[in-house]
Amino acid sequence: MPIAEHKNVLLAHGGGGKLMHQLLKKIIFPSFHNRYLEQQHDGAVIDINGSRIAFTTDSYVVSPLFFPGGDIGKLAVYGTVNDLAMCGARPRWISLATIIEEGLPMETLSKVVESIKEAAAITGVEIVTGDTKVVDKGKGDGIFINTAGIGIIEKPVNINPQNVCDGDNVIINGDVGRHGMAIMSVREGLEFESTITSDCAPLSHTVMNLIENDVKIHCLRDLTRGGLASGLNEIASASNNQIEIDETLIPISDEVKGACEILGLDPLYVANEGRMVIFVPPSDTDKALEVIKRDENSKSAAIIGKVKKSDQPIVLRKNSIGITRILDMLSGEQLPRIC
Amino acid sequence: MLKYIEEYRDAVAVKEIIDALHRITTRDWTIMEICGGQTHSIIKYGIDEMLPQKIRLIHGPGCPVCVTPVELIDKAIEIAKRDKVIFCSFGDMLRVPGSAKDLLSVKAEGADVRTVYSPMDSVKIARLNPQNEVVFFAVGFETTAPANAMAVYQAARERLKNFSLLVAHVLVPPAIEALLLNPGNQIKGFLAAGHVCTVMGWADYEPIARKYSIPIVVTGFEPIDIAQGIFMCIRQLEEGKAEVENQYARSVRREGNLHARSMIERIFKVVDRKWRGIGEIPKSGLALSDEFEAFDAEKRFNLLRLTVNESTECISGLVLQGIKKPTECPAFGTRCTPEQPKGAPMVSAEGACAAYYQYRFRKK
């Protein structure tokens, strides 16, 4: 099978698409087989004598370190906080491990740390342990950060891909594709008419609000690499359902639409850092939408589709012409086209 | 310009054109869309499924990634592997399989392979890295030729000694003629590629339409464009006409873009070229003109004699000539997938196999 045919690891093996999932399935999962990994959740939910905690980890390797709308420090906190929130947990404690490339200006490091401090304050988490390593010049991209996080599941909620069922509505908390296009515009020196800013933001407040308002949530998934398409495919496959979305209902800013059009990219595959999909039963949909929209970051939240029982775990996308097509998981990375 | 995209994807307007098409179609017609971008729109929006049963669309060779022969990919890899070379390419060439590997694998092995968005970016890289040889993979039809010509022009003006092009440029009109000369070809009309004609105009297509009595409609890429292009082509066929018509009037003029054309003529010359899976077509490509041959990477890296045979299993030649549909290939979706492509049409955003795989494979 494909994995075996690649002698070396390619960038696409970390791209959030099919190749990455093959890597996980063929090499990682079989080696560490257990009931937590099997859930394919954003974090592990662990029961300790009746109290439940969520535990997760993530590494951050963004280049450039500072981009419109965010920086690596913010990402490192929000990314991990968001994964905890996806388990229905209130994020509490975070570890901070940095791998710093020799020669990084002290001022840059201070700015990143300051940003981490600010993001931690906003999300109410404490940095309680950490590690610092420095590698030779040329062996790192300025700074790599790993954070692990622990959150507490305070209410008897059960948020899990396996709960997604026939009839659930799919809500998205805002427009998609901004993070990926913001990074691309600075990284590749592309100049668009207006600056695209990353959607980088914490989702924990929104999730806590939903839980406190007793909205019945079947599943949450934050959308990162691989974009909306990959997130939906993961849920379809983990819950063994069909998800049908209506492309015309997905909020996308004109700037992102235009930039994607020029580069031949599909915004549904572009990375986000402050977006999630929320799976709720029809009974709780209106309330969920109302609560989500209270958040400044989620004003453009919308219902974009529905879950249907099916023997095939696939995602279908209905386009503006009314034609339905499979929305597949990305093969590798999206490559800008020639013409 | 970007404000005017949604309008061309309007369901009601497309349906009106398709309804009209149903009213005028009385006989069986096979028409070919030249450009891979059009193929993708057709499959993505399901336009082929809305057409009268009497109309058959076949997909043409207009995917620059797809028609670039294995030999050139191998040459690109050969150059990229060398010391002190920075190899620049558009993104979708990187995953196209050569005879042994692709450029992404060579990158994983340590070669300096970079994705650029414009050939001018690679000129800039050459300027900033005088100790490196910077090579740009100049792939494409007439559409990308002006920018590539401009890059060479600029490099020459700056007297950059470390910049060169690996040229794989191909031309549409000779390919159309080659398809028409193919015994057993069924094509009764063409949708010509709107972007190519934006650069070159359509005067070159007029003798072809006359000589082979075949209508050619210069067509855009959005659902409405394509529906309208098909309608115009069928209307001509039903009325017994064989003319060049322009559907894509918002972008194309008869003479094309004169500045772009003169730049191409200055930097390049017309040569015979090999097409992937099809073979050599006379006068179907561009190479650097004698004045600018110092910028030819094949000469600079002494690769003119490297020749490679095509894979035997991949039927891309037949797919690119519209003789077979991607789904008729025994490897389609099994041994050949976007993750493990046997041929370029499964890789490129404009490849017919990728379009079928993405939008049709597993379709209920």
d(CA B199, CA A48): 68
A338 touches chain B (CB under 8 A): yes
Q: What is the ipTM of this complex?
A: 0.71
Confidence of residue A1 (pLDDT cuts 50, 70, 90): very low
Asked if A306 and A236 count as a contact pair (C-beta separation under 8 A), the reply is: no
Confidence of residue A259 (pLDDT cuts 50, 70, 90): confident
pLDDT over threshold 50, residue B1? no
Q: A34-153 and A161-326 share one CATH topology?
A: no
A22 vs B339: CB contact, 8 Å cut-off? yes
* CB < 8 Å from B in window 9-38 of A: 9-12, 18-19, 22
Chain A CB contacts of B364 under 8 Å are 312
B139 touches chain A (CB under 8 A): yes
A320 vs B115: CB contact, 8 Å cut-off? no
In B, minimum Cα distance to A311 occurs at B364
Q: Which of B181, B158, B178, B162 is nearest to B170 (CA)?
A: B178
**Pick from A202-211, A304-313, B354-363: least confident:** B354-363
A313 touches chain B (CB under 8 A): no
d(CA A54, CA A158): 12
Q: Are residues B50 and B177 both part of a single domain?
A: yes
Chain B CB contacts of A264 under 8 Å are 349
CATH number where B211 lies: 3.40.50.11750
Q: Are residues B71 and B157 both part of a single domain?
A: yes
Q: Are residues B16 and B101 both part of a single domain?
A: no
Domain boundaries, chain A: 34-153, 161-326
**pLDDT tens-digit map of B17-75:** 999 999 999 999 999 999 999 999 999 888 999 999 999 999 998 888 888 988 999 99
Asked if A204 and A121 count as a contact pair (C-beta separation under 8 A), the reply is: no
Q: Are residues B74 and B39 both part of a single domain?
A: no
Q: Which CATH number fits domain A34-153: 3.30.70.580, 3.90.870.10, 3.40.30.10, 3.30.1330.10?
A: 3.30.1330.10
Asked if A47 and A153 count as a contact pair (C-beta separation under 8 A), the reply is: no
**Residue B175, number of CB atoms within 10 A of its CB:** 24
Q: Are residues B134 and B81 both part of a single domain?
A: yes
* CB < 8 Å from A in window 158-177 of B: none
d(CA B347, CA B103): 13
Give the ranges where chain B is alpha helix by DSSP (H).
11-24, 36-45, 47-50, 64-67, 70-81, 103-108, 119-128, 145-157, 172-181, 194-200, 206-211, 223-239, 258-267, 297-300, 316-320, 352-359
Look up the domain containing B33 and give its range.
2-60+172-246
Q: Which of A249, A247, A242, A253 is nearest to A268 (CA)?
A: A247
Q: Are residues B204 and B263 both part of a single domain?
A: no
Chains A, B: CB contacts within 8 A come to: 107
Identify whether B152 is part of a domain. Answer: yes
Distance from CA of A336 to the nearest CA of B (A): 5
Chain B CB contacts of A11 under 8 Å are 104, 107-108
Identify whether B25 is part of a domain. Answer: yes
Chain A CB contacts of B37 under 8 Å are 339
| pLDDT at residue number B361 | 62
Distance from CA of A7 to the nearest CA of B (A): 9
Spelled out in words, what is the top-level CATH class assigned to the domain A161-326? alpha beta
Distance from CA of A164 to the nearest CA of B (A): 22
Partners of B87 in the β-ladder: B113, B135
Identify whether B251 is part of a domain. Answer: no
The three-class DSSP label of residue B32 is strand
Distance from CA of B210 to the nearest CA of A (A): 29
A5 vs B340: CB contact, 8 Å cut-off? yes
User: What's the predicted TM-score (pTM) here?
Assistant: 0.82
**pLDDT tens-digit map of B186-241:** 999 999 999 999 999 999 999 999 999 999 999 999 999 999 999 999 999 999 99
Asked if B216 and B205 count as a contact pair (C-beta separation under 8 A), the reply is: yes
d(CA A21, CA A37): 13
